[in-house]
Amino acid sequence: MADALLRIEGLTKRFGGVVASDDIVLDVNAGELHAIIGPNGAGKTTLIGQIAGEIAPNSGRIHFAGRDITALPVHSRSMLGLARSFQITSLFRDFTAQENVALAVQAHAGHSFRFWRDARSEAELREPARAALARVGLQARADTIVGSMSHGEQRQLELAMALTAKPRLLLLDEPMAGLGPEESGRMVDMLRELKREVAILLIEHDMEAVFALADRITVLVYGRVIASGEPAAIRANPDVRQAYLGEQEATHA
């Protein structure tokens, strides 16, 4: 437990009268994929927001790679090796796919107070960008404006951008959202491969994907952790079945 890559202790967040995160304790080890599931409104995105640094918790601490990052701003966490993708696609819509990824490369290539050289012609930025695009299978769309890419391609691009910084931990907020069955399958394969090099904290509703990929699962309901452990144990857990999986099975049946 002491050498967990990400460790969250007693994280609490209140919005007015609503408790979005209630004393959450969680950890992610290097090399594992830890999935977070729970019904809508369980506070999953709020949790990710706090880990990423956009939302400040009311109490609790977040440790990453041995450091207390609770007070660290968003951009600093990225520099430490924390990468994130968004639930609702958040890209640079008027730029090309390659330019999007190149920006992610540039962020970790020293300071950007360089005013003269044409950034688009810099091999130092271009080559890693192309490589990242190839990794997710988007090399053919390198010069396409993001605004005209399909939803599935945009989700892939989100992933490519998160990977460029060679992160140690990937925060993925519903990467399968809006994907068709074929695209979902490809995403699952990609994540399975990725698991070997980078730890992943995954929020998902797609139960097939979750049980296919997760090494551990934590269940969140109304901001509280009601169960956490290996997939088989979670599946059998009566509280979980009642709160969440039961509903899911009913709708999927």
Partner 1 sequence: MNDLLTVRNIVVAAVAGVLLILPIYAQAIGNLFLLSLFTRIVILAIAAVSLNLIMGFGGMVSFGHAAYLGIGGYVVGILAHEGVSSGFVQWPLAMVLSGLFALVIGALCLRTRGVYFIMITLAFAQMVYYVAVALDRYGGDDGLTIYRRSQFADAIDLSNKTVFYYLCLGVLFAAVYLVWRIVNSRFGMVVQGARSNDRRMRTIGFPTFRYRLACFVIAGVLCGLAGVLLANHTDFISPAMMHWTRSGDLIVMAVLGGMGSVFGPVIGAVALLVLEEALPYLIEFVGGIFTSQDITTAREYWQLILGPMLLLVVLFARGGIDGLLADIRRG
Residue from 62, 103, 159, 198 in contact with partner 1 (CB under 8 A)? 103
Piece of the chain touching partner 1 by CB under 8 A; list 37-45, 116-124, 197-205, 211-219: 116-124
Alpha-carbon span 96 to 36, nearest angstrom: 32
Beta-carbon contacts of 147 under 8 Å, excluding residues fewer than 6 positions away, are 93, 94
Q: Give me the sign of the Cα torsion angle 222, 62, 209, 219.
A: negative
Question: Which two structure tokens, joined as six digits, stand for 46?
Answer: 């709020």
Cβ atoms within 10 Å of 127's Cβ, excluding its own: 12
Distance CA 59, CA 136 (A): 38
Of the ranges 80-88, 179-187, 211-219, 239-247, which one interacts with partner 1 (CB under 8 A)? Answer: 80-88
For partner 1, which residue of 104, 169, 221, 225 counts as binding (CB under 8 A)? 104
Please identify which residue in 91, 159, 214, 234 interacts with partner 1, judged by CB under 8 A.
91
Nearest approach, Cβ of residue 244 and partner 1 (Å): 29
Containing H/E element for 246?
A: helix 246-252
Q: How far is the CB of 74 from partner 1 (least distance, A)?
A: 4
Q: How remote is the C-alpha of 192 from its chain's centroid?
A: 14
C-alpha–C-alpha distance, residues 130 and 162, integer Å: 14
Site string for partner 1, 2-41 (x = CB under 8 A): ----------------------------------------
Binds partner 1 by CB under 8 A, chosen from 12, 23, 92, 226? 92
The residue range among 22-30, 87-95, 179-187, 238-246 that interacts with partner 1, by the rule CB under 8 A, is 87-95
Interface stretch with partner 1, choices 8-16, 75-83, 175-183, 192-200 (CB under 8 A):
75-83
Measured CA to CA, the distance from residue 203 to residue 48 in angstroms comes to: 9
Query: How far apart are the C-alpha atoms of 135 and 217, rounded to whole Å?
Result: 27
Beta carbon nearer to partner 1, 91 or 219: 91
Opening angle at CA 82, ends 101 and 61, nearest 5: 155
> Residue numbers of the site for partner 1 (CB under 8 A)?
52, 54, 73-76, 78-79, 83-84, 86, 90-95, 99, 102-104, 106-108, 112-120, 122, 125, 161, 165
